[in-house]
């Protein structure tokens, strides 16, 4: 544990993966595990494992800011379910990591406390919104980390930082104690350097929870080698079209991953997901609507810093001024799409498109077991390059949003043996049927352990 904090002190001044640390508590907990080892006591699998936690999850007695001035003085009063499960495992929490404010972004530049930088090149973004968690793992400042994925916020930074990130089936991990952004999309997911690390973390945090009515039980066990070898891989033609704006190097890298799977004995076939081109548009109608409802609770009365104004309207204005530009933008968009006269034209139609996208996946999974696709349309971009162009940032979700709309499990991992001219890895994702988390992780683990860099 002391070694991890040594690395943090050496690197985090530049990377800025963390918003707060819990060094004293972490070393104390590590000491307890040491004592148990010395006494030859049985230990759970994650005992002593150093974890980073995205700062939109509650750890009792620690800050929970969601990277917003709105919550900069808020201290959590209880543990999120995932944290309670990890505490039962004697895992150790290094600190809370940076994110785009309220998880709204793809670059971790929209944090109220400053951006996180990509450990591979500090002039570039780490992806988002779980950029702090991904950067902490990639920089050696944590062994594994927890992030949250709404439209791609685990998979996107995993791809940009060259690590592994997993979005479970919607509901497979309890959202109790996760600061809500868009409740029909939000999923807590693990990040690590290997698929096996991600599997072990997911296996602990998954499962049905009485505090979360949307939670479900899913398979976390990896299938045996024979079952994995028999899986068929679909390649969606829409993810490689010129309309998607995918860069040449991304196509080259993902096609290299396709060939690597074929060399391992997997069958690949082209499939079609015809409504993919509508995914981003549908998401950016539904998500702001849910976000505007969820963020209505931040009124200066119940959470964070209380407003000083003596009149109610003034108190609301004072409180809402603590929101950054991106949350304000999404609140306005969401409120508009839910307003009288516009609900059917925008929100209801977006939900219909969401169902069409689900139907596309259901049809595809009649012929294949998993789907292989890019995670991002390009490699990491420079800090500040897109921060003033919301549309360009929203389009970063073009390949991750469809699985989110359908509630599917999706695993991001780097293409082995590939680097761009700038030296960045390129990530690809494996998407599976709802509830088939074990199969997605199994085939990803097979690739990770059988293909060399």
Place of tokens 């963390």: 18
Cα-based angle 168, 169, 172 (whole degrees, multiple of 5): 80
Average pLDDT over residues 381-401: 93
Predicted confidence at residue 300, as pLDDT, reads 76
Q: What is the mean pLDDT of residues 92-96?
A: 98
What is residue 334's predicted lDDT score, i.e. its pLDDT? 94
pLDDT for 388 beyond 70: yes
Determine the pLDDT at residue 159.
98
Question: Residue 138 corresponds to which tokens in the numbers above?
Answer: 């990639």
Q: Are 398 and 429 in contact (CB under 8 A)?
A: no
Put the strands of the sheet holding 50-54 in their side by side order.
Answer: 18-21, 92-97, 50-54, 144-149, 187-192, 164-167, 410-414, 427-432, 370-374, 232-236, 267-271
Is 153 catalytic? The answer is yes
Rounded Cα distance, 403 and 411, in Å: 10
Average pLDDT rounded to a whole number, residues 426-445: 97
Residue 244: per-residue pLDDT:
61
Q: For residue range 261-292, list pLDDT tens digits in order.
A: 999 999 999 999 999 999 999 999 999 999 99
Active site residue 54: yes
For residue 219, what pLDDT is reported?
81
Residues 6+ apart with CB under 8 A from 75: 61, 62, 63, 64
Q: For residues 140 and 321, give the distance between their C-alpha atoms in angstroms, rounded to a whole number.
A: 36
Q: How far apart are CA 111 and CA 326, in angstroms?
A: 10
Q: Strands of 114-265 (E only): list them.
A: 144-149, 164-167, 187-192, 232-236
Q: Angle, to 10 degrees, between the axis of helix 279-294 and the axis of helix 325-338?
A: 100
- What was the pLDDT predicted at 273? 97
- Cross-strand bridge partners of residue 432: 370
Domains of the chain (ranges; CATH) run 2-205 (3.90.1300.10)
At 354 the three-state DSSP class reads helix
272 flagged as catalytic: no
Which residues fall within 8 angstroms of residue 243, CB to CB, at 6 or more apart? Answer: 277
pLDDT single digits (tens) 398-424? 999 999 999 999 999 999 999 999 999
Q: Report pLDDT digits (tens) over 99-149.
A: 999 999 999 999 999 999 999 999 999 999 999 999 999 999 999 999 999
The predicted structure's pLDDT at residue 243: 66
Mean per-residue pLDDT of the chain: 95
Average pLDDT over residues 389-399: 92
Q: What local confidence, expressed as pLDDT, does residue 280 receive?
A: 95
Task: Give the torsion through C-alpha atoms of 34, 36, 37, 42, to 10 deg.
Answer: -140
- Say if residues 361 and 273 touch (Cβ distance below 8 Å): yes
Share of residues in the chain with pLDDT > 70 (%): 99
Q: What is the mean pLDDT of residues 51-78?
A: 96
Catalytic hit among 54, 85, 96, 386: 54
Three-state DSSP state, 276 = helix
Is 349 in contact with 358 (CB distance < 8 Å)? Answer: no
Task: Give the pLDDT confidence score for residue 308 in this predicted structure.
Answer: 78
Catalytic residue, chosen from 22, 90, 107, 129, is 129
Residue 410, H or E segment: strand 410-414
Q: What are the phi and psi torsion angles at 50 (to 5°)?
A: -80, 120
pLDDT in tens, 177-231: 999 999 999 999 999 999 999 999 999 999 999 999 999 999 877 888 888 988 9
Contact in structure between 108 and 115 (CB atoms under 8 Å)? yes
The 10s digit of each residue's pLDDT in 347-375 is: 999 999 999 999 999 999 999 999 999 99
**Does residue 129 have a cis peptide bond before it, meaning omega lies within 30 degrees of 0?**
yes
Looking at 22, 107, 130, 153, which residue is catalytic?
Answer: 153
Nearest to 227 by CA among 265, 201, 189: 265
> Span 19-45, mean pLDDT?
95
Percent of the chain with pLDDT over 90: 87
Predicted local confidence at residue 299, as pLDDT:
82
3-state class (DSSP) for residue 251: helix
pTM of the predicted model as reported, rounded to 2 decimal places: 0.96
As a whole number, mean pLDDT of residues 432-451 equals: 96
Of 226 and 240, the structure prediction assigns the larger pLDDT to: 240
């Amino acid at each position: 544990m002391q070694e991890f904090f040594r690395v943090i002190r050496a690197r985090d001044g530049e990377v800025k993966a963390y918003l707060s640390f819990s060094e004293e508590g972490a070393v104390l907990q590590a000491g307890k595990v040491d004592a148990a080892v010395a006494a030859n006591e049985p230990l759970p699998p994650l005992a002593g494992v150093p974890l980073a936690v995205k700062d939109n999850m509650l750890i009792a007695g620690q800050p929970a800011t969601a990277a917003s001035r709105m919550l900069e003085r808020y201290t959590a009063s209880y543990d999120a379910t995932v944290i309670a499960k990890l505490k039962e495992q004697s895992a150790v929490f290094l600190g809370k990591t940076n994110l785009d404010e309220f998880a709204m972004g793809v670059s971790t530049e929209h944090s109220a406390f400053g951006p996180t930088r990509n450990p591979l090149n500090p002039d570039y973004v780490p992806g988002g919104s779980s950029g702090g968690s991904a950067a902490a793992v990639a920089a050696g400042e944590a062994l594994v980390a927890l992030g949250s994925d709404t439209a791609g916020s685990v998979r996107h930074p995993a791809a940009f930082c060259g690590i592994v990130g997993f979005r479970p089936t919607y509901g497979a991990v309890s959202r109790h104690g996760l600061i809500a952004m868009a409740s029909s999309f939000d999923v807590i997911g693990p990040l690590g350097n290997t698929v096996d690390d991600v599997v072990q973390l997911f296996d602990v945090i998954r499962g049905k929870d009485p505090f979360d009515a949307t939670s479900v039980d899913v398979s976390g066990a990896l299938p045996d080698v024979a079952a994995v070898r028999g899986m068929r891989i679909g390649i969606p033609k829409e993810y490689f079209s010129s309309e998607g704006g995918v860069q040449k190097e991304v196509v080259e890298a993902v096609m290299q991953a396709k060939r690597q799977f074929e060399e391992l004995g997997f069958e690949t076939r082209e499939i079609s997901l015809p409504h993919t081109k509508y995914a981003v548009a549908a998401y950016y109608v539904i998500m702001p609507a849910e976000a505007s409802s969820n963020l209505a609770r931040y009124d200066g009365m119940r959470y964070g810093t209380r407003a000083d104004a003596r009149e109610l309207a003034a108190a609301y204005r004072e409180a809402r001024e603590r929101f950054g530009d991106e949350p304000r933008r999404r609140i306005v968009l969401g409120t508009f799409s839910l307003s009288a006269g516009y609900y059917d034209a925008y929100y209801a139609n977006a939900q219909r498109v969401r169902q069409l996208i689900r139907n596309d996946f259901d049809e595809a999974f009649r012929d294949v077991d998993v789907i292989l696709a890019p995670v991002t349309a390009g490699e990491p971009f420079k800090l500040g390059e897109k921060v003033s162009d919301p549309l360009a940032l929203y389009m970063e979700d073009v390949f991750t949003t469809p699985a989110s709309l359908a509630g599917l499990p999706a695993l991001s991992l780097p293409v082995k043996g590939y680097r761009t001219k700038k030296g960045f890895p390129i990530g690809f994702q494996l998407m599976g049927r709802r509830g088939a988390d074990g199969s997605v992780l199994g085939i990803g683990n097979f690739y990770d352990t059988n293909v060399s860099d």
